[in-house]
Amino acid sequence: MIYEAGIGGERFSSAQHSGSLGPARLLAKRLDLKDRRKLLDVGGGSGAYSIALCAANPRLSATILDFPETVDTAKRHAREAGLADRIAHIAGNAITVDWPQGHDMVLISYVWSAVGEADVAVLAKRAADALPPGGLALIHDFMVDDAREGPRFAAWYLLGSMFDNPTAVCLTPAYVEQVLRDAGLTVEGTETMLPGITMLTRARKPG
């Protein structure tokens, strides 16, 4: 999930999975995906979000794109959830590896807060290029309000990201939405996902 060397092994991925299951199920309840068939989960880590979305939508399948270190753990979680036949895996860095085509939905969760500003733009453009007309892009991450006055937890998390990576960005709804527009997507809006912690921005590819 996080684009830094040394992160993504078994212990990290398992801990990340446990912490992500609750938010993933909440996201699945929020989204109407009855017309969606194939999800590309970029930086999907342990697969918690793919598992929750596929479990809630029986006609949905998913492909998780993440570092090679995460694949074995993600496959195990998919098997344990009874979804191994509906969740595929691609090992690689989402900034450089080729993204698969044929997905009508792209989810990028907890990734933009972990990379630099230039890579945020790359990921947005790659999402737009990978989607067909009418395809849905979802950005779920730590965000503060546009005035950058809070919420406190998200602000501290993003500040910590900047200490780890000086090129990291303080994510706000206005910033995230503008990056998506610059990539050629039509923004539908941003809403609170986990109160005080994360927000969800939705956008579609025109056409």
- Report yes or no: 40 and 65 within 8 Å, Cβ to Cβ: yes
Percent of the chain with pLDDT over 90: 83
CA 193 to the chain's CA centroid? 13
Q: pLDDT by residue (tens digit) across 27-77?
A: 999 999 999 999 999 999 999 999 999 999 999 999 999 999 889 999 999
Per-residue pLDDT at 74: 92
* C-beta of residue 137 within 8 angstroms of C-beta of residue 185: yes
In this prediction, residues 73-86 reach a mean pLDDT of: 96
Mean pLDDT, all residues of the chain: 92
Q: What is the pLDDT of residues 144-166, one digit of tens each?
A: 999 999 999 999 999 898 888 89
Cβ proximity of 43 and 70 under 8 Å: no
Tens of pLDDT, residues 191-207: 999 999 999 999 999 98
Split at pLDDT 50, 70, 90, the class of 118 is very high
pLDDT score of 207: 87
Q: Does residue 13 surpass a pLDDT of 80?
A: no
Is the pTM of the predicted complex or chain greater than 0.85? yes
The C-alpha atoms of residue 173 and residue 152 are separated, in whole angstroms, by 16
Q: For residue 69, give the nearest of 85, 92, 49 by alpha carbon.
A: 92
Taking the C-alpha atoms of residue 47 and residue 78, their distance in angstroms, rounded to an integer, is 7
More confident site: 181 or 12 = 181
Helix, strand, coil % over all residues of the chain, rounded to 5: 40, 20, 40
Cβ neighbors of 81 (< 8 A, separation 6 or more) are: 51, 55
Residue 195 identity (one-letter amino acid)? P
> What domains does the chain contain, in order, with CATH numbers?
10-204 (3.40.50.150)
pLDDT given for residue 44 in this prediction: 94
Confidence of residue 4 (pLDDT cuts 50, 70, 90): very low
